[in-house]
Amino acid sequence: MCLFRCLGVAGSPPSRSKGAHNIASFADLGISKPVVRALARRDIVKPFPVQQLVVRDALAGHDLLVQSPTGSGKTLAFGVPLVERLAPDAGRASALVLAPTRELAGQIVAELRSLADARGLRIAAVYGGVGFGPQIAAARRADILVATPGRLEDLIARGAVSLDNVRILVLDEADRMLDMGFRPAIGRIVGRIPVKRQTLLFSATLEGATGNIAAAYTREDARRHTQAQSKRDKADIEHRFLHVDSPSNKLDHLVEQLRDGGHGRTLVFVRTKRGADRLVKRLRARRVEAVAMHGDKSQGQRERALARFESGAVRALVATDVAARGIDVDDVTHVVNFDAPGDRDSYVHRVGRTGRAGRQGTGISFVLADQADEVRRMAGSLGLTREFDRGRQGPDRGPDSQSRTRRSRRRRTKVSP
């Protein structure tokens, strides 16, 4: 078994930012009693490492550039200082949080609502896929507005939202927003916000295009923090490349994988929205329950699909890359690349959704013969050439043969000294 550390795969490990201390409580960071109590009611007492790193600087009004992975506690890292620094200002948003997807925008509001309530602040989310009316009404009352770039521009064009009073701007998961093509929209939105503001940028990477917008939108004296991953937080992932001899055989192999008792929640990635719906239908015809998530689904459909997946009502969620960017679900045991990822970054983003928080995970990629050279190059760039070559040893003998091989291997393991 070969394991890699997903977030360290792109290069040398990030350096630990100086100033991180073993802080015992949020009160030690200077957080007010109402917010400390609101956190305690949710059993949140000790700050996570990223919160220890950045909260004091954020409270002091510094611009921040923070490199931190999804699931590290970064929402509270910017959310706690946000509610502390704002005062209610009816009818005008004082803070704007930009997020790449509607799922993430909704998660941010859910995470921060109790803290905002503790400070008498109103928070609202605006995103596509739902009607304008209720969102406009909520946005006009909000002190903190959480938005996806596209829907926010729609509301600005309708004259429903003004950014003239925004004093704090948060760019959350900035690298994802760039990946999704939002840079022009972000530029137009930032151009409407007063220059005299505090900007907090959070991203999994601060290199390349993300580094460029970080420099463009923050002051020269911005504080930079990189969260060094602890051993407990590093991804522990087994990588498998399964070589199949025809597209039809991919379905046979997927059904076998999903019927395996060792699989828990499984994310299945496909390249197209139509492919996601078609695969769910084919799985159901094989009596394997699955749900699909993609951009053509309504917000209600997406929320219901995600809720069924999170609750365990279905163990397989079939998603496209873009739709999956807003999914943050614990205990995903397997990621299956039913369709091969387009590049190494897509592979890392997909497979990085398992093996989180010290748990083990498995990434399985189906490889057709005409994809082998391209996928091998991608695997090599990630240090996974050995795993790729191991997967292509011997011809594709079908799922029944693989099941017998695994059972035989388990029997040998049992009798070995």
**Residue 306: what residue type?**
L
123-176 per-position pLDDT tens digit: 999 998 788 999 999 999 999 999 999 999 999 999 999 999 999 999 998 988
Over the range 63-78, which residues count as b (16 or more CB within 10 Å of their CB) and which as e? Answer: bbbbbbbbebbbbbbb
**Whole-number Å distance between alpha carbons of 154 and 348:** 32
91 band by pLDDT with thresholds 50, 70 and 90: low
- The contacts of residue 414 (CB under 8 Å, 6+ apart) are none
Identify the pLDDT of residue 392: 73
Q: Give the tokens for residue 399.
A: 């799922």
357 band by pLDDT with thresholds 50, 70 and 90: low
Q: Which of 6-10, 124-128, 325-329, 340-344 has the lowest mean pLDDT?
A: 6-10
21 versus 352: the higher-pLDDT residue is 352
Q: Which of 4-8, 117-121, 153-157, 159-163 has the lowest mean pLDDT?
A: 4-8
Q: Give the tokens for residue 375.
A: 């996928």
pTM tops 0.75: no
Q: What angle do CA 62, 126, 274 make, to 5 degrees?
A: 120
**Domains of the chain: which residue ranges?**
14-226, 236-404
Of 229, 199, 194, the C-alpha closest to 214 is 199
3-state secondary structure of 227: coil
Per DSSP, 380 falls in state H
- Give 292's Cβ-side CA count (13 Å radius): 21
Does the pLDDT value for residue 396 go beyond 50?
no
Report the CATH architecture of 14-226: 3-Layer(aba) Sandwich (3.40)
- Give 124's Cβ-side CA count (13 Å radius): 19
Pairing type for strands 144-147 and 95-98 reads parallel
Give the full edge-to-edge strand order of the sheet including 223-226.
123-126, 144-147, 95-98, 168-171, 198-203, 64-67, 223-226
Identify the pLDDT of residue 289: 92
Residue with tokens 């829907």: 151
Could you report how far apart the first and last alpha carbons of the chain are, in Å? 20
**Whole-number Å distance between alpha carbons of 63 and 224:** 9
Q: Give the tokens for residue 377.
A: 């190059």
Mean pLDDT of the chain: 83
Residue with tokens 């959310």: 79
Of 208, 204, 155, 177, the C-alpha closest to 98 is 177
Identify the pLDDT of residue 83: 96
CATH T-level topology, domain 236-404: Rossmann fold (3.40.50)
Fold match between domain 14-226 and domain 236-404 = yes
How many other C-beta atoms are found inside a 10 Å radius of the C-beta of residue 106? 18
